[in-house]
Structure 1
Amino acid sequence: MTDYWVDHSQKATLEEMMLDSQAETLSKVETPEILSMLPKVTGKRVLELGAGIGRFTGLLAEKASHVTAVDFMESFIRKNRETNRHHKNADFIQADVTKMDLPEESYDIIFSNWLMMYLTDEEVMKLAEQSLKWLKEGGLMFFRESCFHKSGDKARTVNPSVYRSPSLYNALFQSVSKPIKGDEETSVGFDIIFTKSVQTYIKLKKNQNQLCWLLEKKRMQSAAHHGYNTFQSFLDNQQYSKQGILRYEKIFGHGYVSTGGAETTKEFVAMLKLQPGQKVLDVGCGIGGGDFYMAKTYGTEVLGVDLSCNMIEIAMERASSQKGNPQVQFEISDITKRDFEKESFDVVYSRDTILHIPDKAALFATFLKWTKPGGKLLISDYCCGPPENHSENFKKYVAQRGYVLYTPEEYGKLISNAGFTNVKAEDRTNQFVDVLQREKKRFEAEKEEFLKDFSEEDYQYILDGWDSKLKRCGAGDQRWGLFYAEKPLYIGED
């Protein structure tokens, strides 16, 4: 790797560093975009890893209390020092980031723009461990990497870069933790706030594979998530493992992991009367089938958000295969921690996802803020019958999945109380049962096709799951709700 960068750092130019003939244009457009995704740096101590010639160093130093800029190429760090030495609150270090020794909890923010693609998996793991140590509790780590394939067009006789999948970065960073002294059940680790694409590369190069991460160092209790450090890890290793997702897709149909697949999607989306150019937020987008459908059929711009890394990685790969269609984009994030500008979307849409979220009232209030006046909300979700009638098996099922369920009537009231109007709360359990029965019948008829890619055990898992859903619905435990609402054109000030 050193030989590779010696060959590509002779002049210490922006084009050399970015390995792209469009470097000047790309940098001009993407620099403010990258900075806009950063947490507030004012008054913070920032560690910049892989600082290069310093296109971010000076901008960080303008607001931060101190910046430590690190790069392992002497020519790059020399150019950085020459450019930014007038910032008295910046230090410049030539070092291998995987071998540095810095004081524990000495930084509020770690920033990295293209670094880990030049490290081995073992070195990324080592850097993750060191970063966890260097950050203060509550500190944030932001990094950006090329995933899946290269982006720069500069000719290279050898290319040792590692173009990882987003899920691998997530797995590497979420696997590191540090025990809290005196508390055997608590540790500190990284919680992912978001993983999202860089818009500049989508617009200028039709490339959705430039991704950014924001992670927080926080205390975690694995007991709270069924033995996993985070709820995200629980989902990706249990219900939404890649194998599990593809099994679901076989019964729901290509691109779908929610009830009724394309059939219910077309029915429910038609209720929204979408118009070209409208912006849709899909919460819990899964592998993106509904998002591609809305964009292609109605000309809408769709942002699909899901907590499952595995779901979004599949969606991103499929978006990339569609020539980087900028109308459909995906990001990994916890919707309860995500923030968008007020009135960003014409529609907030969600299919069978909010069952995972305990504080639905707070979430619906947030949806109201993000929706434009006159905008629409459409949700389908798992619900329940009267709690006093729940069977013990249903209680165990809900606890094992980590669901928080309400009756359709209660669910509708939560949406209304958040400030939405024209709320329609419909119990669609009969439709749910009808869809389940037809999906099961079709699945049984296609057993041989299924077994070409999956095992007999996988086949039986799907059948047992559908039979259990039908029994829960027949007993009155499980219900399925469809909810439509609108944001008032005018909302009075308190």
Structure 2
Amino acid sequence: MTMDQQKEQQEENENQLPTLRKQFWQQQEPTVEAMIQAVSADDLASQDADEVMAMLPDLSGKRVLDLGAGIGRFTGRLARVVGHVTAVDLSQTLIEENRAKNQHYPNVAFICDDVLNLNLPPGSVDLVFSNWLLKYLSEAEVATLLGHALSWIAPRGHIFFRESCYMSLGSVNRASNPTIYRRPQHYAQLLRQAQGADLSTFRLLRSKSILAYINYENTPNQICFLAQRVSGQQQEQQMQGQAIDAPEHPLATKEATKAAAVRVGASTGLKEGQKVLEVGCGQGDMAFFLARHYQVHVHGVDDSPDSVYTAIQRQVEADHIVRRKLHFEMSAGLELHCEDDSYDLILSRQTLHTSQDKQKTLAYFYRCVKPGGRVVITDYCTGASHPPCPAPTYQQAPALATVDGLATMLREAGFKAVASEDLSQELIKTLENGLNNPQASISGSTHDLVQEQVRLAKEGQLVWASFTAVK
């Protein structure tokens, strides 16, 4: 099939989508199994719903639009915590089941219609919520809906959606389920491209795989997205503070990461089944190594959507044993979302220096690690005899702390047995090897950055140090 024929076939498929999805959902029984397309689904559905609800921002008194609401898996849960819910679904059978279950809530309204037909006043909702909706829409329909959402959502309001990703990319199975399986990068791109009439845009705050599906089905392809409506000016200010993405940096190579992972495993005595939080996980090299060689469970967090989605795709393609031990999450500003006393070990590598409030970040670490658990930090610091220099990896990053200053912060956060080690000579060696390696593919901007880091390290202005501490 030629490219033109493929394009014509895709256009034909997408033109038929409205009819196909309506026919599909009109044929579905109003059951949980039908909603999640799985059998024996009660436990999975319950934990899945709990996890989705935990992703949402504070909704006290807020107005929520529940799109593709179906039988009300989330309508009732939302009604119990928000000011008002409007549940929308194109299936009369499903919306009537939703009504039967949730009409006792006085703050719920029900609409039977295609979401693309909605005409709501500007700024009339605080959250647009959907679960498995966008995968039934064409790309043009997704773009249209996101544009509408920017109008409907009040300033600083949010959009949340969850989708099945990675499978048969862009395919439509006419014989059964008319689903388009996209990559999460594609959804993130559609979010970035959306723009309101007032130049408002979406800023992605958080995105992750649903852990319940990893635990029950060993399937990491259920991806959530939480974004906030911001003005164009706010988005530009946020972009100015984001990291320069440089996966080819010598410290980010697989060899450097493997060496760091071996050091961590040897120094911390990792045991099979323990839980590790890796802050600044990148594309998952450290997490995969620890899961494979130490049989630990690793929750990787990074502020780069592309890096996290690459890690998730690698997880999808990994063997079933390693796949079940990993969980990746994108979080803007590396904000941590974890229960108290959750992890045996917290790792932070080349990440803490980007924090605007290091003491607050270390307090998060202390809260999240188990009593007796450890924190291992490797990061850039400034030389004690030199004025603080800006972090040499980030635009508009906060000033670096000294080694003694960061150790003091760890103690003030509550940690004990705080120890530090100067690894600057190892940093210089690793960076110079990267610069001199003819096979290393280092871009011009990264090359200049690495050269500057070598200069600062040799002058003593930049220190690379490791820290260990116990709760």
Range into which the TM-score falls when normalised by the shorter chain: 0.7 to 0.9
194-203 or 334-343: which moved more? Answer: 334-343
**Matched length:** 449
Between the aligned partners of 1:396 and 1:421, the Cα distance in structure 2 is 27
Deviation per residue, 1:430-470 (Å, 9 max, x gap): 111122233344x22x36xx5xxxxxxx5555554433322
When normalised by structure 2's length, the TM-score is 0.85
81-90 or 47-56: which moved more? Answer: 81-90
201-210 or 118-127: which moved more? Answer: 118-127
- Cα shift at 1:212: 1.4
Alignment-derived partner of residue 492 in structure 1? none
- Cα shift at 1:145: 0.8
Alignment-derived partner of residue 10 in structure 1? 27
State which of 425, 428, 442 in structure 2 corresponds to 1:433: 428
Alignment-derived partner of residue 184 in structure 1? none
Alignment-derived partner of residue 345 in structure 1? 343
Structure 1: 4+ residue segments shifted above 6 A: none
Alignment-derived partner of residue 311 in structure 2? 315
Alignment-derived partner of residue 457 in structure 2? 473
98-107 or 43-52: which moved more? Answer: 98-107
Between the aligned partners of 2:160 and 2:91, the Cα distance in structure 1 is 21
Distance 1:32 1:468, change over 3 A: closer
Distance 1:177 1:337, change over 3 A: farther
Alignment of 1:128-207 (within 5 A): 128-149=146-167, 157=175, 160-176=178-194, 189-207=201-219
Q: Which amino acid aligns with 2:77?
A: L
Distance 1:417 1:27, change over 3 A: closer
- Cα shift at 1:266: 1.1
396-405 or 361-370: which moved more? Answer: 396-405
Q: Which amino acid aligns with 1:4?
A: L
306-315 or 162-171: which moved more? Answer: 162-171
Alignment-derived partner of residue 381 in structure 1? 379
State which of 377, 400, 408 in structure 2 corresponds to 1:405: 400
Alpha carbons 1:108, 1:136 under 8 Å: kept:
yes
Alignment-derived partner of residue 121 in structure 1? 139
Between the aligned partners of 2:36 and 2:391, the Cα distance in structure 1 is 53
Identical aligned pairs, as a percentage?
Answer: 32
Alpha carbons 2:341, 2:370 under 8 Å: kept:
yes
Alignment-derived partner of residue 296 in structure 1? 292
Asked if 1:215 is matched to 2:227, the reply is yes
Alignment-derived partner of residue 485 in structure 1? 469
State which of 368, 371, 374 in structure 1 corresponds to 2:369: 371
Between the aligned partners of 1:274 and 1:370, the Cα distance in structure 2 is 17
Deviation per residue, 1:193-221 (Å, 9 max, x gap): 32111122212221101011223335674
- What's the RMSD between the two structures over aligned residues? 3.1
Between the aligned partners of 2:52 and 2:395, the Cα distance in structure 1 is 39
Alignment-derived partner of residue 361 in structure 1? 359
Distance 1:95 1:265, change over 3 A: same
Alpha carbons 1:148, 1:163 under 8 Å: kept:
yes
Alignment-derived partner of residue 275 in structure 1? 271
Alignment-derived partner of residue 325 in structure 2? 327
56-65 or 279-288: which moved more? Answer: 56-65
Distance 1:126 1:402, change over 3 A: farther
State which of 75, 81, 89 in structure 1 corresponds to 2:99: 81
477-486 or 121-130: which moved more? Answer: 121-130
Distance 1:301 1:11, change over 3 A: closer
Distance 1:271 1:122, change over 3 A: same
- Cα shift at 1:485: 0.9
Distance 1:12 1:5, change over 3 A: farther
Distance 1:459 1:177, change over 3 A: closer
- Cα shift at 1:336: 5.1
Q: Which amino acid aligns with 1:61?
A: A
Alignment-derived partner of residue 490 in structure 1? none
Between the aligned partners of 2:259 and 2:194, the Cα distance in structure 1 is 42
Alignment-derived partner of residue 69 in structure 1? 87
Deviation per residue, 1:82-114 (Å, 9 max, x gap): 443343332111223234221222223322111
Between the aligned partners of 2:355 and 2:59, the Cα distance in structure 1 is 30
- Cα shift at 1:55: 2.4
Distance 1:101 1:358, change over 3 A: same
Please give the secondary structure, in 2, of the residue aligned with 1:54. Answer: coil
Q: Which amino acid aligns with 2:429?
A: D
Please give the secondary structure, in 2, of the residue aligned with 1:271. Answer: helix
Unmatched segments (≥5 aa) in structure 2:
1-16
Deviation per residue, 1:55-90 (Å, 9 max, x gap): 222332344332111122334323333443343332
Between the aligned partners of 2:399 and 2:144, the Cα distance in structure 1 is 38
Alpha carbons 2:380, 2:391 under 8 Å: kept:
no
